[in-house]
Chains A and B, each alone.
Chain A
Amino acid sequence: EDKVVQSPLSLVVHEGDTVTLNCSYEVTNFRSLLWYKQEKKAPTFLFMLTSSGIEKKSGRLSSILDKKELFSILNITATQTGDSAIYLCAVLRGGSNYKLTFGKGTLLTVNP
Protein backbone atom coordinates (compact mmCIF):
# COMPACT_ATOMS: atom_id res chain seq x y z
CA GLU A 1 0.00 0.00 0.00
CA ASP A 2 1.45 3.36 -1.02
CA LYS A 3 2.11 5.66 1.89
CA VAL A 4 2.68 9.42 2.07
CA VAL A 5 3.36 11.08 5.41
CA GLN A 6 3.44 14.83 5.82
CA SER A 7 4.66 16.85 8.74
CA PRO A 8 3.80 18.93 10.52
CA LEU A 9 0.04 18.47 10.26
CA SER A 10 -0.48 22.08 11.20
CA LEU A 11 1.72 25.15 11.42
CA VAL A 12 1.00 28.71 12.50
CA VAL A 13 3.51 31.44 11.65
CA HIS A 14 3.74 35.19 11.31
CA GLU A 15 4.00 37.00 8.02
CA GLY A 16 7.60 37.14 6.88
CA ASP A 17 8.58 33.83 8.46
CA THR A 18 10.12 31.02 6.44
CA VAL A 19 8.51 27.58 6.65
CA THR A 20 9.60 24.10 5.64
CA LEU A 21 7.03 21.41 5.02
CA ASN A 22 8.05 17.78 4.94
CA CYS A 23 6.85 14.81 2.97
CA SER A 24 8.11 11.25 3.21
CA TYR A 25 6.85 8.38 1.11
CA GLU A 26 6.85 4.68 0.46
CA VAL A 27 5.50 3.72 -2.93
CA THR A 28 5.82 0.83 -5.31
CA ASN A 29 7.37 1.89 -8.57
CA PHE A 30 7.82 5.56 -7.71
CA ARG A 31 7.65 7.94 -10.62
CA SER A 32 7.24 11.47 -9.28
CA LEU A 33 6.33 13.51 -6.24
CA LEU A 34 3.93 16.42 -6.55
CA TRP A 35 3.03 19.33 -4.31
CA TYR A 36 -0.39 20.97 -4.37
CA LYS A 37 -1.92 23.93 -2.55
CA GLN A 38 -5.54 23.64 -1.49
CA GLU A 39 -7.60 26.54 -0.25
CA LYS A 40 -11.36 26.20 -0.08
CA LYS A 41 -11.58 24.50 -3.43
CA ALA A 42 -9.65 22.20 -5.72
CA PRO A 43 -5.95 21.45 -5.19
CA THR A 44 -3.81 23.62 -7.42
CA PHE A 45 -0.57 22.27 -8.79
CA LEU A 46 2.71 23.68 -7.47
CA PHE A 47 5.60 21.38 -8.36
CA MET A 48 6.39 18.01 -9.83
CA LEU A 49 9.70 16.43 -8.83
CA THR A 50 11.13 13.43 -10.56
CA SER A 51 14.87 13.67 -10.09
CA SER A 52 16.81 13.84 -6.84
CA GLY A 53 18.66 16.96 -5.80
CA ILE A 54 17.25 19.34 -8.39
CA GLU A 55 15.50 22.26 -6.77
CA LYS A 56 12.35 23.57 -8.37
CA LYS A 57 11.52 27.18 -7.66
CA SER A 58 8.55 29.43 -8.22
CA GLY A 59 8.74 32.82 -6.60
CA ARG A 60 8.96 32.37 -2.85
CA LEU A 61 8.27 28.64 -3.08
CA SER A 62 10.85 25.98 -3.70
CA SER A 63 11.01 22.23 -3.41
CA ILE A 64 13.52 19.44 -3.63
CA LEU A 65 13.38 15.66 -3.70
CA ASP A 66 15.68 13.08 -2.12
CA LYS A 67 14.97 9.71 -3.72
CA LYS A 68 17.54 7.91 -1.60
CA GLU A 69 15.95 8.99 1.69
CA LEU A 70 12.44 9.03 0.17
CA PHE A 71 11.41 12.52 1.13
CA SER A 72 10.77 15.97 -0.17
CA ILE A 73 10.58 19.41 1.36
CA LEU A 74 8.60 22.46 0.34
CA ASN A 75 10.02 25.80 1.45
CA ILE A 76 8.12 29.04 1.55
CA THR A 77 10.12 32.17 2.31
CA ALA A 78 8.78 35.54 3.42
CA THR A 79 5.34 34.04 4.02
CA GLN A 80 2.23 36.10 3.35
CA THR A 81 -1.33 35.69 4.62
CA GLY A 82 -2.27 34.51 1.14
CA ASP A 83 -0.03 31.48 1.65
CA SER A 84 -2.49 30.18 4.24
CA ALA A 85 -3.78 26.89 2.86
CA ILE A 86 -3.42 23.15 3.09
CA TYR A 87 -0.32 21.93 1.29
CA LEU A 88 -0.70 18.43 -0.08
CA CYS A 89 2.09 16.12 -1.11
CA ALA A 90 1.29 13.31 -3.52
CA VAL A 91 3.26 10.52 -5.15
CA LEU A 92 2.65 9.27 -8.65
CA ARG A 93 3.20 5.63 -9.28
CA GLY A 94 4.73 4.53 -12.54
CA GLY A 95 4.15 1.38 -14.51
CA SER A 96 0.68 0.76 -15.88
CA ASN A 97 -1.35 1.46 -12.73
CA TYR A 98 -1.75 5.22 -12.67
CA LYS A 99 -2.44 6.40 -9.19
CA LEU A 100 -1.72 9.60 -7.32
CA THR A 101 -1.62 9.01 -3.56
CA PHE A 102 -1.96 11.99 -1.24
CA GLY A 103 -0.68 12.64 2.24
CA LYS A 104 -2.94 14.17 4.86
CA GLY A 105 -1.59 17.63 4.17
CA THR A 106 -0.06 20.40 6.24
CA LEU A 107 -2.40 23.19 7.28
CA LEU A 108 -0.40 26.41 7.15
CA THR A 109 -1.81 29.50 8.79
CA VAL A 110 0.06 32.76 8.27
CA ASN A 111 -0.98 35.49 10.67
CA PRO A 112 -0.45 39.18 9.90
Chain B
Amino acid sequence: AAGVIQSPRHLIKEKRETATLKCYPIPRHDTVYWYQQGPGQDPQFLISFYEKMQSDKGSIPDRFSAQQFSDYHSELNMSSLELGDSALYFCASSLLNREAFFGQGTRLTVV
Protein backbone atom coordinates (compact mmCIF):
# COMPACT_ATOMS: atom_id res chain seq x y z
CA ALA B 1 0.00 0.00 0.00
CA ALA B 2 1.20 3.51 -0.72
CA GLY B 3 2.70 5.34 2.24
CA VAL B 4 3.64 8.92 2.97
CA ILE B 5 6.74 9.82 0.99
CA GLN B 6 9.18 12.42 2.21
CA SER B 7 12.17 13.78 0.43
CA PRO B 8 14.99 14.13 0.87
CA ARG B 9 15.68 11.54 3.56
CA HIS B 10 18.79 13.34 4.73
CA LEU B 11 19.88 16.93 4.26
CA ILE B 12 22.94 18.77 5.44
CA LYS B 13 22.90 22.54 5.26
CA GLU B 14 25.05 25.34 6.56
CA LYS B 15 23.84 28.03 8.94
CA ARG B 16 21.83 30.77 7.27
CA GLU B 17 21.03 28.58 4.26
CA THR B 18 17.55 27.62 3.13
CA ALA B 19 16.02 24.14 3.03
CA THR B 20 12.90 22.79 1.38
CA LEU B 21 11.37 19.55 2.58
CA LYS B 22 8.76 17.76 0.54
CA CYS B 23 5.91 15.49 1.53
CA TYR B 24 3.68 13.38 -0.68
CA PRO B 25 0.67 12.19 1.32
CA ILE B 26 -1.13 8.90 0.91
CA PRO B 27 -3.44 9.19 -2.09
CA ARG B 28 -6.90 10.56 -1.24
CA HIS B 29 -5.78 11.76 2.18
CA ASP B 30 -7.02 15.30 2.72
CA THR B 31 -5.09 16.29 5.86
CA VAL B 32 -1.35 16.83 6.19
CA TYR B 33 0.64 17.51 9.37
CA TRP B 34 4.26 18.56 9.83
CA TYR B 35 6.25 17.73 12.96
CA GLN B 36 9.74 18.47 14.23
CA GLN B 37 11.38 15.89 16.48
CA GLY B 38 14.65 16.66 18.23
CA PRO B 39 16.84 13.89 19.71
CA GLY B 40 15.07 12.20 22.60
CA GLN B 41 12.04 14.44 22.25
CA ASP B 42 8.44 13.94 21.29
CA PRO B 43 7.19 15.19 17.93
CA GLN B 44 6.40 18.90 18.09
CA PHE B 45 3.53 20.08 15.93
CA LEU B 46 4.47 22.67 13.35
CA ILE B 47 1.54 23.12 11.01
CA SER B 48 -1.38 21.29 9.40
CA PHE B 49 -3.38 21.55 6.21
CA TYR B 50 -6.83 20.38 5.28
CA GLU B 51 -7.81 20.36 1.64
CA LYS B 52 -4.84 22.57 0.76
CA MET B 53 -5.77 25.25 3.29
CA GLN B 54 -3.78 25.85 6.45
CA SER B 55 -5.71 24.41 9.35
CA ASP B 56 -3.65 24.97 12.49
CA LYS B 57 -0.25 26.28 13.38
CA GLY B 58 1.97 25.27 16.26
CA SER B 59 5.31 26.51 17.50
CA ILE B 60 6.66 27.17 14.03
CA PRO B 61 9.31 29.90 13.73
CA ASP B 62 8.60 32.80 11.42
CA ARG B 63 11.58 31.60 9.35
CA PHE B 64 9.55 28.53 8.42
CA SER B 65 6.65 28.45 6.02
CA ALA B 66 4.66 25.67 4.47
CA GLN B 67 2.06 25.15 1.82
CA GLN B 68 0.04 22.43 0.22
CA PHE B 69 -0.27 22.33 -3.52
CA SER B 70 -3.08 21.41 -5.87
CA ASP B 71 -1.77 17.83 -6.14
CA TYR B 72 -1.87 17.65 -2.30
CA HIS B 73 1.85 17.43 -1.85
CA SER B 74 3.22 19.77 0.77
CA GLU B 75 6.49 21.62 1.22
CA LEU B 76 8.10 22.99 4.34
CA ASN B 77 10.44 25.88 3.63
CA MET B 78 13.02 26.78 6.22
CA SER B 79 15.16 29.88 5.82
CA SER B 80 18.08 31.38 7.76
CA LEU B 81 18.78 27.97 9.19
CA GLU B 82 20.17 27.76 12.71
CA LEU B 83 22.04 24.96 14.43
CA GLY B 84 18.98 24.37 16.60
CA ASP B 85 16.91 23.50 13.54
CA SER B 86 18.78 20.20 13.28
CA ALA B 87 16.11 17.57 13.84
CA LEU B 88 13.99 14.91 12.24
CA TYR B 89 11.08 16.42 10.33
CA PHE B 90 8.05 14.22 9.87
CA CYS B 91 5.10 14.65 7.63
CA ALA B 92 1.90 12.71 8.31
CA SER B 93 -1.31 12.41 6.37
CA SER B 94 -4.81 11.24 7.14
CA LEU B 95 -8.37 11.30 6.04
CA LEU B 96 -10.20 13.98 7.97
CA ASN B 97 -10.37 13.09 11.68
CA ARG B 98 -8.88 9.67 11.09
CA GLU B 99 -5.57 8.14 12.13
CA ALA B 100 -2.49 9.84 10.77
CA PHE B 101 0.25 7.88 9.04
CA PHE B 102 3.79 9.13 9.14
CA GLY B 103 6.45 9.33 6.49
CA GLN B 104 9.98 8.15 7.20
CA GLY B 105 11.09 11.67 7.93
CA THR B 106 13.79 14.00 6.71
CA ARG B 107 16.84 14.25 8.91
CA LEU B 108 18.11 17.82 8.70
CA THR B 109 21.56 18.63 9.97
CA VAL B 110 22.64 22.25 10.11
CA VAL B 111 26.38 22.78 10.39
Residues on A close to B: CB < 8 A?
A: 31-32, 34, 36, 41-45, 48, 88, 92-94, 96-105
Contacts and interface: CB of A to CB of B under 8 A. Distances in A.
A102 B31 CA distance: 17
Contacts of A43: 43, 90, 102
A42 B102 contact: yes
Interface in B64-102: 90, 92, 96-102
Contact size range, B: 20 to 34
6 contacts: A34-B100, A42-B102, A43-B102, A100-B48, A102-B42, A102-B45
A99 B32 CA distance: 10
A43 B45 CA distance: 14
The 6 closest A-B pairs by CB, nearest first: A42-B102, A97-B56, A99-B56, A98-B55, A48-B99, A102-B42
Contacts of A42: 90, 102-105
B27 interface: no
Contact of A34 (B31, B35, B41, B99): B99
The binding surface of chain A is classed by DSSP as strand
A99 B42 contact: no
A1 to B, nearest CB: 10
B90 A99 contact: no
A97 B55 contact: yes
A98 B55 CA distance: 6
Given A42-B90, A97-B55, A98-B56, A103 B99 contact: no
B58 interface: yes
Given A43-B102, A44-B102, A100 B97 contact: no
A41 B104 contact: yes
Contacts of A99: 33, 45, 48, 55-56, 58
B105 A41 contact: yes
Interface string B25-58: 0000001010100000111110010100001101
Given A42-B105, A97-B55, A105 B42 contact: yes
A45 B100 contact: yes
